[in-house]
Amino acid sequence: MAVIYIDDKAYEVKPGKNLLETCLTLGFNLPYFCWHPAMGSVGACRQCAVKLFKDEQDTNGRIVMSCMEAVKDNMHLSVDDHTAKAFRSQVIEWLMTNHPHDCAVCDEGGSCHLQDMTVMTGHTYRRFQYKKRTYKNQYLGPFINHEMNRCIQCYRCVRFYKDYAGGKDLDVFAAHNHVYFGRAQDGMLENEFSGNLAEVCPTGVFTDKTLKEHYTRKWDMTMAPSICQHCSLGCNIIAGERYGELRQITSRFNGEVNGYFICDRGRFGYELVNSINRVQQPLIRGKIPDAVDKQSLYNHLNEILSNTKVIGIASPRASLESNFTLMQLVGKENFYQGISETEAQLMRTILHTMNSGQIHTPSLKETEKADAVLVLGEDLTNAAPLLALALRQAVRKKTIENAGQINIPSWHDAALREFAQQEKGELFIAYPTQTKLDEIASDSRHKSPDDIARLGFAIANYLNIMAPAPEGMDDDTLKYARQIADILKEAERPLIICGTSLYNEAILKAASNIAFALDTKDKKASLCFVVPECNSMGLAMMQAPSLNQAVEVLEKGEADTVIILENDLYRRGSKKDIDNLFNHCKQVIVLDHLHNDTTNRANVLIPVGTFAEADGTIVNNEGRAQCFFQVFMPKNENLRESWRWLDEFRQFKNGTSPEDLTTPGDLMDEMVGLMSQFKGAETVAPPADFRIYGQKVPREPHRYSGRTAMLANINVSEPKPPEDPDSALSFTMEGYKGIPPSPLIPFYWSPGWNSVQSINKYQTEIGGPLLGGDPGKRLFPETPVAENAFLNNIPPAFKPSPGEWLIVPLPHIFGSEELSIYTPGIAERSPKPYVAISKHDAENLNISESDIMQVQIRDQNYALPARIKEELPQGLAGIPFNIPGLSGIAWPAKGILTKAVI
Amino acid sequence: MISNLRTIGLTFLHMFRKRETIQYPEEKVVLHPRWRGRIVLTRDPDMGERCVGCYLCAAACPVDCISLQATEDENGRRYPEFFRINFSRCIFCGYCEEACPTYAIQLIPDFEMAEYQRQDLVYEKEDLLIDSEGKYPGYNYYKVAGLASGVKGKGEGTNEEPPVDIHSLLP
């Protein structure tokens, strides 16, 4: 620890950091623009000036930029020095000379870093009387709005977009006081993380365009801590509501998971909550009218549930609570996972490895620190976007470490990039097609799923001779395997990433073998699994049989009624199989929030709340249980949590009265009591009766407006505010005003810090964990519970069979996910259906780009335009995974491709 | 005793003073221009709505009786989709007028708003919007704001340079 003196007061601080982050950690309000905790310092904005003194005697001192100054022991500086203060306010006055009078119509207003910093430095009166510079704006696609006049040239946008996220199409143009941040031409921002520009930009140049559609100031939103539901990573988000509509998603800092950023699918994929496609009322089909009230629904269900043999079909996108209550309702022996047998088997393999305790499943934060990475069979940018962002940081780790040897600190961004040039860490990718991460990979190979697995087995075999070796490998691949094995062995923090998206079990086994082979006494290899959906892991941990078994039971006539929980089965298997399932059912009871093909088959359809209208716990890909909280109480009282409905239905089974309702906390206790594998999940968030000084944590900021007017058009007497018996959060602005426990942070705000940058005040140190520790609880053992036994079952090498193609699913960040597609912008960016074929096959079939091809998968026929991919191995074809119009395929699939006859 | 006599004397003298009570409603009260009464939404000199839906009035309101929703027309001009004031809660403090960056919301010298039904004290935008510039004639916010919204093009506003040509290398 170093001791520094700030305004003659001694502080003990961590050496190696820069002065700015040190001052902010200590609680000083020091203004800044260009520095960002995740991106380091460049010293461009000259805003964070402090006075540095030579020693104790020095009274003159000199002005330095605190972000560019490393902490040294026995340093004397002054933040409050009047010349430093004058310097800072002068700088902001210059920055403001060209800043327009836009705050009233600027979406950043109220959460604007520039507003905060201007007030902080005391620049309250504009002396500048002359003309202001103006720019023309650009169209940047459906997510981001551009208003260049407001720019203060801090360069944060390009530093994030190009340097941090690997974007190519945003840059800085022109010179001197004319610099322009935008694209070379109007057009869609291509990068998958462009939404973060709205948070990274300290002013309103880049703002959230979807928020603009229904604009609300930050202070007017009812917000709650939530978890993103659009992939398996479980990024933490803040969801905000106004007038009964979900308005905005922002990133919620979690040092272990997503850090400061989220991807565009997570940020903009929230429109499903406001969709007109929502199920609004309980429906009993065949009754006239079919929309019924609660009582007639209960009467009807009472009849069905007490007379028939019922099975329950769970869902990987429903919370643990909902799945568990379904299990309790139908009984463990009648409870099925709502996923195909193939997927269930993949999840079992993953669970087997994770339960062994032999491997370490890294958090996203840890993946950023890996020094050698091997990706087997995953297109991360599309399947788990933030993991791709983490890998972009991981490949820089080695150069940052090397730079440390010549005394370049890790926060000195400009110097680091100068030092690193094009040098990159080790990243190897094996995937059938080209992925976006290939550009930063040391080497990438395009192979069929089985060959990827064989490569993995070969690497494991090189690492440990006990591991089974694949036979008949060619020399080139063996050489490649040896190269990777050597690099992984050398590495201090090797990381292997694999997943379920190719529906190939052998890949998972090969990856496990590599991790087992790397396992030594002092070093545990990290193995990261990408799983299909937000609660796939949680559902798999419940160890229920798959959908295929449910079909068998129905076919045998052992059951005739199904309850389907938040699951569109037509995305889980071929249309024929699912139709077959429904044809064997007498009664189909579906609980879901949006109308889809499955709800169309329902005899009884029950509306439920989305993540914004429900509390719940989900388990992410690393086995971290995390809680999301209800954002608002919907006006429609039919929109209740699935677990609340199902819990009430228990009365028809065992006669408990509906008044004995349980809170999600009680449900979790009951669950952990019955299934010890979830132990710890009940402690993720403080219980519902948790209070701070007798107060709840308010979901609304203290400036929340319009309480006595927003409902006055309906009735001038204000209704009682809704109560929340399920959590320690309240739906009002009354309650504890300080910093709540980290799982309960509904929004970031601190006096003088209205923007998202107020996160600084919630962390133990800048960029470090939140006060009280990052939320979430890992459920898997870290200590070995079993001897590591290498997994066998090496598939034979892939050989193209004439006339038949192996069809691989190609995930797309926009389009492949079921719920985010309801956002018009995401639907706009979703690809149109296509079939990708190799160049060789295309030549054989006499196909050129965009020719229509006939694709026959089992008994389904699709006419799809061809996309020729040079790198795709022969005999393989790719189809975008589950995009609109292309669901209902049982993966893995084989198909026949022919040129369509027109 | 002396005090009582003095009081009687003073009261007697008041009989010769000018009358403070007026015969309302036949006779109207004289209200000064800065009197804080009924709240109105004004228009700019081009008769466009002045309110840009910035929510500052709502935030400033100590009784939270203003509620609105901002929306945009096809040119990007912001205006309130609805604007509601619950006058049964309003305390006529004038903070909303003080907070308004566009001179849209103004308190005018009128207090005759009594209703038999409390519900009738809820005013919507139709009730609030007047065809006048109110107390601040001549001001048009969109002429001084940086963004283009159909009122003026980029760089055509008051005190604005023409848009930068980013391809130019001239100093």
Provide the β-strand partners of residue A709. none
* Mean pLDDT score, A674-688: 89
Q: Which residue is listed with tokens 């929703």?
A: B69
Model confidence band, residue A660 (pLDDT cutoffs 50, 70, 90): low
* Cβ-contact B50, B103 below 8 angstroms: yes
Nearest CB neighbour to A220, from listed B55, B85, B167: B55
The contacts of residue A70 (CB under 8 Å, 6+ apart) are A15, A16, A17, A18, A19, A409
Element (H, E) at A490: helix A475-490
Res B163: pLDDT:
92
From the list A90, A104, A13, A109, the residue with the least C-alpha distance to A49 is: A90
The residue type found at A622 is: E
* Cβ-contact B165, A180 below 8 angstroms: no
Reported as a single tens digit per residue, the pLDDT across A294-309 is: 888 888 888 888 777 8
Residue A671 has pLDDT above 80, yes or no: yes
CA A808/CA A800 separation, integer angstroms: 13
Res A659: pLDDT:
58
CA A261/CA A271 separation, integer angstroms: 20
Reported as a single tens digit per residue, the pLDDT across A405-445 is: 888 888 998 888 888 888 888 999 999 999 999 999 999 99
Provide the β-strand partners of residue A276. none
CA A285 to chain centre: 37
Residue B1 has pLDDT above 90, yes or no: no
Provide the β-strand partners of residue A616. A628
Going through A17-86 in order, the beta strands assigned E by DSSP cover 49-53, 62-65, 75-78
The residue type found at A477 is: T
Record: contact A716-B86, CB cut-off 8 A: yes
Model confidence band, residue A647 (pLDDT cutoffs 50, 70, 90): confident
Per DSSP bridges, beta strands A893-899 and A805-810 are: antiparallel
From the list A262, A267, A260, the residue with the least C-alpha distance to A40 is: A260
Model confidence band, residue A657 (pLDDT cutoffs 50, 70, 90): low
Record: contact A174-B168, CB cut-off 8 A: yes
Chain B hits for A710, Cβ within 8 Å? 67, 84
A173 touches chain B (CB under 8 A): yes
Question: B23 burial class (0-12, 13-18, 19+ CB within 10 angstroms)?
Answer: exposed
Q: How many CA atoms lie within 13 A of B164 on its CB side?
A: 24
User: CA–CA distance from A506 to each of A604, A791, A809 (Å)?
Assistant: 41, 9, 16
3-state secondary structure chain B: CHHHHHHHHHHHHHCCCCCCCCCCCCCCCCCCCCCCCCEEECECCCCCECCCCCCHHHHHCCCCCEEEEEEECCCCCEEEEEEEEECCCCCCCCHHHHHCCCCCEEECCCCCCCCCCHHHHEECHHHHECCCCCCCCCCCHHHHCCCCCCCCCCCCCCCEEEECCCCCCCC
CA B80/CA B101 separation, integer angstroms: 15
Q: pLDDT: is A423 or A104 the higher one? A: A104
Res A358: pLDDT:
82
Return the structure tokens found at A554: 């129905």
The 3-state DSSP class for residue A647 equals helix
CA angle B43-B148-A829, nearest 5°? 120
What is the complex's ipTM, to 2 decimals?
Answer: 0.89
* Cβ-contact B64, A707 below 8 angstroms: yes
**Radius of gyration of chain A from its Cα atoms, rounded to whole angstroms:** 28
Residue B29 has pLDDT above 80, yes or no: yes
Could you tell me the fold of the domain covering B23-132? Alpha-Beta Plaits (3.30.70)
* Mean pLDDT score, A346-350: 93
Percent of all residues in chain A with a pLDDT value above 90, rounded to a whole number: 67
CB proximity under 8 Å: A 150-169 to B: 150
Reported as a single tens digit per residue, the pLDDT across A31-56 is: 999 999 999 999 889 999 999 999 88
Q: What is the DSSP letter of A281?
A: S
Residue A658 has pLDDT above 60, yes or no: no
Q: Residue A24 CB: number of other CB atoms within 10 A?
A: 24
Alpha carbon of B167: minimum distance to chain A alpha carbons (Å): 6
Model confidence band, residue A648 (pLDDT cutoffs 50, 70, 90): confident
Res A527: pLDDT:
92
Record: contact B89-A715, CB cut-off 8 A: no
Alpha carbon of A357: minimum distance to chain B alpha carbons (Å): 53
From the list A466, A151, A503, the residue with the least C-alpha distance to A345 is: A503
Chain B hits for A104, Cβ within 8 Å? 52, 54, 56, 101-102, 141, 145
Reported as a single tens digit per residue, the pLDDT across B124-158 is: 999 999 999 999 999 999 998 888 888 888 888 88
Res A459: pLDDT:
93
Q: Residue A297 CB: number of other CB atoms within 10 A?
A: 20
The 3-state DSSP class for residue A69 equals coil
Percent of all residues in chain A with a pLDDT value above 70, rounded to a whole number: 98
Residue A624 has pLDDT above 70, yes or no: yes
Going through A66-143 in order, the beta strands assigned E by DSSP cover 75-78, 132-134
Q: Which residue of chain B has the CA closest to A128?
A: B159
B101 touches chain A (CB under 8 A): yes
- What chain A holds in terms of domains, given with CATH numbers, is 2-95 (3.10.20.740), 344-531 (3.40.228.10), 805-899 (2.40.40.20)
Element (H, E) at A401: helix A385-405
Domain boundaries, chain B: 23-132
CB proximity under 8 Å: B 37-96 to A: 52-56, 58-59, 61, 63-72, 78, 84-86, 88-89
Q: Which of A213, A710, A714 to mutate to test the interface with B (most CBs of B within 10 A)?
A: A710
Chain A hits for B160, Cβ within 8 Å? 131-132, 134
- Span between the terminal Cα atoms of chain A, in Å: 76
From the list A176, A169, A225, the residue with the least C-alpha distance to A192 is: A169
Chain A hits for B53, Cβ within 8 Å? 215
* Cβ-contact A529, A508 below 8 angstroms: yes
CA A528/CA A96 separation, integer angstroms: 47
Residue A210 has pLDDT above 70, yes or no: yes
Question: A858 burial class (0-12, 13-18, 19+ CB within 10 angstroms)?
Answer: middle
Q: Residue A832 CB: number of other CB atoms within 10 A?
A: 12
Res A345: pLDDT:
93
Model confidence band, residue A748 (pLDDT cutoffs 50, 70, 90): very high
CA A69/CA A8 separation, integer angstroms: 18
The 3-state DSSP class for residue A585 equals coil
The residue type found at A586 is: K
From the list A220, A134, A239, A124, the residue with the least C-alpha distance to A177 is: A134
Q: Which residue of chain B has the CA closest to A217?
A: B55
Per DSSP bridges, beta strands A245-251 and A236-242 are: antiparallel
* Mean pLDDT score, A443-466: 92
Res A124: pLDDT:
86
CA A238/CA A250 separation, integer angstroms: 5
